[in-house]
A and B are shown apart, each in its own frame.
Chain A
Amino acid sequence: MKHKLLPLSETMHYILLALREPLHGYAIMQKIEKMSNGTVLLAAGTLYGAIDNLNKQGWIEPVDQSGRRKVYMITAEGNAILKMEQSRLLHILSLYEGRESNEKI
């Protein structure tokens, strides 16, 4: 069976992508706001739950402490998940562009 977090939700997707550099919780939200051109605004409870969940899966891990804030970063396993998602999305994109059907002809 597929992992319960796959395919990644928009929130999870953005958090994993943002954590390719080390960031603490609030900074993750700010980075995602920029990355998404202001369309994805994470709320506190959603962010806390998502970090907790991704950490539990071992897809991100705490790497540092800045004051009372924990700094997180993506793990090798998390990167593997992103790779999988990337090829899934690339395939869907290719369907959008009609390339897939051309190959068959």
Chain B
Amino acid sequence: MKKFKIFFDIEKEEQWLNAQLQKGYRCTDISGLGMYTFEKTDKRYVIRLDYQDYLSKKKFRDYKGVYEDFGWIYIKGSRLGGIQHWQKEDDGRNEIFSDRQSQSSYYKRLMSYSFGLGIPLLAFSYMLYKDSGLYLTEGLWSMKGSLFWKAFLFETPFALLRSLPAFMVVFFAGSFYKAYRKYSMFKEK
């Protein structure tokens, strides 16, 4: 079974994946473009998502080695940084974090990820908009009647495209805040 899906929220992705596994599947492949491949199984599996920044080759080997010793199978991820997908047969010990300290540092890693992407985008958006508005057509706002509407409608798709970085800033700010809320929840003692 193949399913196509795009996620912007790591926890939603984890929930969705586990909901598929509950129906008697196990995940065999995840492609970079959002194609999830599942296979029918009699056993029960669970998936957990971790986030890691760039790991050196040696560190990545250690990281994978520890998880694999615990029975986790690496489905997809990247040594260069990103979401790491781990799957395992359900044996009652299905978590990848067992204390608050590690749980909170997981959310801290997610925070610095959103921050690291959000700040350059914010700077980029600022540079993009500081000298001009979203609409670039010369004298657009002083045009009259149908000429204005034609020019306005023609320009709108481009304006939307130009506003994409700003939307992404809002999105990363949102993920940062979400991770921060969880982080402070686990940080409290």
Contacts and interface: CB of A to CB of B under 8 A. Distances in A.
A49 B98 CA distance: 11
Contact of A48 (B63, B93, B100, B101): B63
A51 B66 contact: yes
Interface in B76-132: 86, 93, 95-102, 105-106
Given A44-B72, A45-B50, A49-B105, A10 B99 contact: yes
A47 interface: yes
Scoring A29, A44, A47, A49 by chain B CB atoms within 10 A of each residue's CB, the highest score goes to A44
Interface residues of A, number: 22
A13 B172 CA distance: 36
A22 to B, nearest CB: 16
Given A45-B50, A48-B63, 15 more contacts: A11-B99, A12-B101, A26-B66, A26-B69, A43-B95, A43-B102, A44-B67, A44-B72, A45-B97, A47-B66, A48-B66, A49-B105, A52-B59, A52-B62, A70-B65
